Structure 1
Amino acid sequence: MTQYDFQTLAQLYRDTLLNDVLPFWEKYSLDEKNGGYFTCLNREGQVYDTDKFIWLQNRQVWTFSMLYNRCEQRENWLQIAKHGAEFLAKHGRDEEGNWYFALNQAGTPLVQPYNIFSDCFAAMAFSQYSMASGDKSAEAIAIQAYNNVLRRKDDPKGKYTKTYPGTRPMKSLAVPMILANLSLEMSWLLPETQLNQVLDLTVSEVMGDFLDKERRLMYENIAPDGSHLDCFEGRIINPGHGIEAMWFIMDIAQRRGDQETISQAVQVVLNILDFAWDKEYGGLYYFMDADGHPPQQLEWDQKLWWVHLESLVALAMAYRLTQRQECWEWYQKLHDYSWSHFADPEFGEWFGYLNRRGEVLLNLKGGKWKGCFHVPRALFLCWQEFETLSLTGKTTG
């Protein structure tokens, strides 16, 4: 296992973000004719599909706005964010203010607003964009989208749900975990009382309901009373979601000085890693069955970019907050695997999908689910974590 020092790591993440990943999206993703972004880009950056998926559009607005706000006020970053925000403000919502799932290239709706995450990422995007630009109309869009999320959180798909009512009700980890992160993103726009109420609720739900106290694993779906369901959906473990949720919880806990919750979240991260690491080929599985049965997802054994990137963020944050040696050992293990398998030094950006053996499965840099979000966000956050660690004079143990 390679040994790393914090300053070298900070420089690696910074240089890769600024000189490799962002230039890829700046060069290839802008639709200069219609507005918005192309996300379906092959390895070399060529567009292979022109449909526009709302949560990826909003995620790219968020990315460039966030970097303008937190990294450096580069005018071209603000203009790229504006390029997407104006397209989305014009085309992204139905008459009732719900955000569509997909549009065609020109902005005509393709897929109905069935997915609450379109609204989540709209709130994140327009919050950061309004902060960057000072645009009050963007601020209003952010608050409206956030209120949409709160309104729909207990019935995320509403009339678009496919399940038969009442037979097997369940709730999903995805909703409270994204609400936790979203609320922190929106903190500068929300009344303190409302913010604290939502954060209390999400932490309580994630750590109290979805966390199995005996196994110390995060379940993806549970019954409304918090019990487990013996079915495909009830047994599913999504390692990436569980680990990403834990760094969201750590983020809230450090804001509140809650060391007990930080320690609990860190331990959950370590338990998920132990459970989900492929001991034969390396890397983390995409889906697993809690009881060892065959998962229903046929792609269960693929290795995905975002799962590994969110794990790197969680481990870097966990080590800074606790100095636990296990966190540092796991970080190095994940770093070696991720940087040697997903990064593409020849054409830039990262591959998204590997087979179980770690070979590139899809020769793309963006698509319907992968856009300008997880890679740049993780690179930025890890850069900040290691910069902080290098400045404190702490050692790698």
Structure 2
Amino acid sequence: MTIYRSRDGLRHQFRDVLNFYYPACLDTATGGYVAQLDERDGHVYDARTKHLVATARGVHNFSLGVLADGPHWCEYAAEHGLQFLSNAHWDDERRGYDWLLDGRTATDRTRYCYGHAFVLLAGARAYQAGIPDARAVLERAFDVLEERFWEPDHDLYADRATPEWRTVSSYRGANANMHACEALLAAYEATGDDRYLDRAYTVADRFTREVTSATDGLLWEHYTEEWEPDLSYNEDQPRHQFRPPGYQPGHHVEWAKLLALLSDYRPAGWLRERARDLFDTAIDLGWDDDHGGLYYTVEDDGEPIVPDKYGWVHAEAIGASALLSRDDESYVDWYDRLWEYAQEHLINRRFGNWYERLTREHDRDGPNHGPEVEPGYHPLANCWLAARALEDDPDLFETDRERRD
């Protein structure tokens, strides 16, 4: 039985991840965060590059630290990052968030829905945590998403635009809409404003039930302007960093998590049924029976395309299994199994942070030393969700007293 069925176990892992990034991540000279920490020993390999997603995720992480009664410095760290996000990343002339900075100088101003969704998420969690000016960040990000990316003819968001907003790409992506749904749910939790919940429900319903009917309910990643699946997209680049071809078990479990959360606020029976279906599909297609763990990308019959094991995939599966366990105790077994796998292979035993990627056989082939976008966001978010699930139904989990006894 895993130690992560207890509040103490989850709190310990949560703080380990925060402690890996703090205080090294604080850029006190330029502002914002230094996200490029080597996952093996924590040394900074790039102190200049500031990625919009990494900045927003950092604000989210430290805001969760406040909400989870974490270390006292979480509030300062969240406020520090939020100020940089709302000033350095924001292009006031063109009214959008810059994608990539060198220090405080924009080097890529492409407008990504994905990035703006994470700003909305950061603003929502910071507002929940009582960070000053967070509500303004939340509302500004939502306004940009609605005015620039929302397509009412499709009830989904477009993917990206040029810096001056003159041209919107014909590419349509599942990932941007998934994270927009996540951020909208957080905005609803923070504010109680139904417009965020309504939009989250619309995106979830449209994508996970209607769009995916073209691929027998499986979640394809890449679409045309009319939201038809582009099955040949990047087929010659199976290891593309952000947009690989194939089906991703990790996104199936991530959507399962979001549908389970959405069902807490909307009494629609299909939500939990579809959540279970997506989680079960991820396991059926993606679990490596020989070496353990979930593949990164697969064909529709489960044949692996990229058999690597990513930390974020398993963190999301943990969060999803915790939430699904509230209705079906069989998912507790997967919760345990996933934590055991993470402990054995994915968690750095020295520092407690999670490795980004392993080979199928769990070898580390060297860190990715490009611009960082994952400063512990997935394990922190899903530790927090697991703790919420424990509070909702403590009988499904071992209590702290039982563990001590």
Q: What SS does the corresponding residue of 2:364 show, helix, strand or coil?
A: coil
Correspondent of 1:310 among 308, 316, 330: 316
Query: In the alignment, which residue of structure 2 is the partner of 1:102?
Result: 100
Deviation of 1:200 (Å): 3.2
Alignment deviations for residues 150-205 of structure 1 (CA, whole Å, 9 cap, x no partner): 23144321237xxx999xx6632223322221111111576845234313311221
Instruction: Choose the corresponding residue for 2:33, options 17, 30, 37.
Output: 37
Tell me the CA shift for residue 38 of structure 1: 0.9
- Equivalenced residues, count: 378
Q: Could you say which residue in structure 1 is the equivalent of 2:57?
A: 59
Matching residue's letter, 2:286: A
Q: 1:361-380 residue pairs with structure 2 within 5 A?
A: 361-363=365-367, 368-380=372-384
Aligned partners of 1:101 and 1:113 also within 8 Å: yes
Q: Which residue of 2 aligns with 1:242?
A: 252
1:1-397 matches, within 5 Å, as: 3-4=1-2, 7-8=5-6, 10-18=7-15, 20-42=16-38, 43-50=40-47, 51-68=49-66, 70-72=67-69, 75-94=72-91, 95-105=93-103, 107-133=104-130, 135=132, 137-150=133-146, 151-153=148-150, 154-159=157-162, 171-187=172-188, 192-212=193-213, 215-223=216-224, 227-232=228-233, 236-290=246-300, 295=305, 300-323=306-329, 325=330, 327-363=331-367, 368-391=372-395
Look up the equivalent residue of 1:218 and give its one-letter code.
L
Cα distance in 2 for residues equivalent to 1:310 and 1:24: 20
Mark the runs of 5 or more structure 1 residues left unpaired by the alignment. none
Partner SS, residue 370 of structure 1: coil
Task: Specify the SS of the correspondent of 1:109.
Answer: strand
1:244 is paired with a residue whose SS is helix
**Alpha-carbon distance, 1:31 to partner:** 1.2
CA RMSD of the aligned region, Å?
Answer: 3.1
Select the structure that is richer in helix. Answer: 1
User: CA 1:170–1:262 in 2, change beyond 3 Å: closer, same or farther?
Assistant: same
Task: Report the CA distance between 1:126 and its aligned residue.
Answer: 2.2
Q: Percent identity?
A: 21
Q: Which runs of 5+ in 2 are unaligned?
A: 151-156, 236-244, 400-405
Q: Distance in 2 between matches of 1:270 and 1:370?
A: 26
AA in 2 matched with 1:206: F
Q: CA deviation at 1:305?
A: 0.6
What's the TM-score, normalizing by structure 2? Answer: 0.83
- For 2:264, what is the secondary structure of its paired residue? helix
Runs of 4+ in 1 over 6 A off after TM superposition: 392-395
Distance in 2 between residues matched to 1:385 and 1:91, nearest whole Å: 36
The Cα shift of 1:145 comes to 1.0
User: Do the aligned residues in 2 keep the contact of 1:355 with 1:361 (CA within 8 Å)?
Assistant: yes
Q: Secondary structure at the match of 1:280?
A: coil
User: What SS does structure 2 have at the residue aligned with 1:263?
Assistant: helix
User: For 1:198 and 1:74, how far apart are their aligned partners in 2?
Assistant: 34
Letter in 1 for 2:366: L
- Tell me if structure 2 keeps the 8 A contact 1:240–1:306: yes
